[in-house]
Amino acid sequence: MSTRQRGRPRDPAIDDAILTATRELLLRVGYSGLSMEAIAARARVSKPTLYLRYPTKGVLVFDAIFGKTKSIAMPDTGSLLTDLREAYDWAVDEFAAPEARAALPGLLADVSASPELANLVRATVIEPEYARVHALLKRAQHRGEIRCDADLPLVIDAFIGTAMARATLLDSPLDHAFSARLVELLITGMAPRPSET
């Protein structure tokens, strides 16, 4: 995801080549062995072209592993449960991908060690995606499917944090069955169902 715009419009083919090269190299050499020079060479672009789009390796890797669905419109079926299941399935697929598992430990260490990188990743990758999901939840709130005082950013944190924990710390499945269970839990809560009271 670019932080600067100058000159001619971006060529989507170049963007795709850069992101594909990044994912392929992550599987071969891991995050610590990854370099911007190697990515540029594999994508067959110049280093200035690469740095124009991605000022740091961390931002590039975040976009390569978590930006695959950014060009897809959020679902809008009229049902919060259906919309969230589809959107969260996308997130689970990104977290469960082999390149994500190869990148996350080193990437998170770099982000933790560098406030500058953390701010850049938040501004260019995380905040735009939060805004997309927030809009989905707001629509559901206007339809009356979510109570008006619900903490929507906290709901998003719960989704992302749970997937992150399963991808990095827990020996637990990260798949669509998990996705469906978590969506249902966060929508309905843990209160007894009417038939259980």
Q: Report pLDDT digits (tens) over 130-181.
A: 999 999 999 999 999 999 899 999 999 999 999 999 998 888 899 999 999 9
Domain range holding 175? 69-196
Shared domain for 135 and 91, answered yes or no, is: yes
Query: In this structure, what are the phi and psi dihedrals at residue 169, rounded to the nearest 5 degrees?
Result: -120, -35
> For position 55, which CATH number holds?
1.10.10.60
Q: Is residue 158 part of a domain?
A: yes
| 89 belongs to a structural domain | yes
pLDDT for residue 4 is more than 90: no
Cβ neighbour number for residue 179 with a 10 Å cutoff: 24
Q: How far apart are CA 103 and CA 78, in angstroms?
A: 36
Establish if 107 belongs to a structural domain: yes
Same domain, 136 and 167: yes
Based on the fold, state whether residues 56 and 97 are members of the same structural domain: no
Is 148 inside any structural domain?
Answer: yes
Position 56 scores a pLDDT of: 92
Q: From CA 78, how far away is CA 158, in angstroms rounded?
A: 22
| Cβ neighbours for 170, distance < 8 A, ≥ 6 positions apart | none
Asked if residues 91 and 32 have their Cβ atoms less than 8 Å apart, the reply is no
User: Are 133 and 95 part of one and the same domain?
Assistant: yes
pLDDT tens-digit series, residues 63-118? 999 888 888 899 999 999 999 999 999 999 999 999 999 999 999 999 999 999 99
Does position 124 have pLDDT exceeding 90, yes or no?
no
Is residue 85 within 8 A of residue 179, CB to CB? The reply is yes
Residues 43 and 20 sit within 8 Å (Cβ to Cβ)? yes
> What's the residue count for the chain?
197
Structure tokens at 1: 């995801």
DSSP 163-185: HHHHHHT--S--SHHHHHHHHHH
Would you state the pLDDT for residue 2? 43
Q: Same domain for 92 and 133?
A: yes
Q: Based on the domain organization, do 113 and 51 belong to the same domain?
A: no
Q: Are 2 and 54 in contact (CB under 8 A)?
A: yes
- Are both 58 and 73 inside the same structural domain? no
Is residue 186 domain-resident?
Answer: yes
Domain membership flag for residue 43: yes
Please tell me whether residues 49 and 77 are part of one structural domain: no
Q: Are residues 30 and 89 in the same domain?
A: no
Structure tokens belonging to residue 57 = 């390796």
Mean pLDDT for 41-46 is 97
pLDDT at 10: 76
The domain that contains 79 carries what CATH number? Answer: 1.10.357.10
Same-domain pairing of 45 and 74: no
Token code pair at residue 124:
């260019």
Compute the distance between CA of residue 60 and CA of residue 1 in angstroms, rounded to an integer: 7
Q: In this structure, is residue 5 part of a structural domain?
A: no
Q: How many domains does the chain have?
A: 2
Comparing CA positions, the residue from 193, 190, 175 lying closest to residue 85 is: 175
Q: Measuring CA to CA, how many Å separate 36 from each of 31, 141, 160?
A: 11, 43, 27
Same domain? 109 vs 153 = yes
Check whether residue 37 and residue 75 sit in a common domain: no
Residue 52 included in any domain = yes
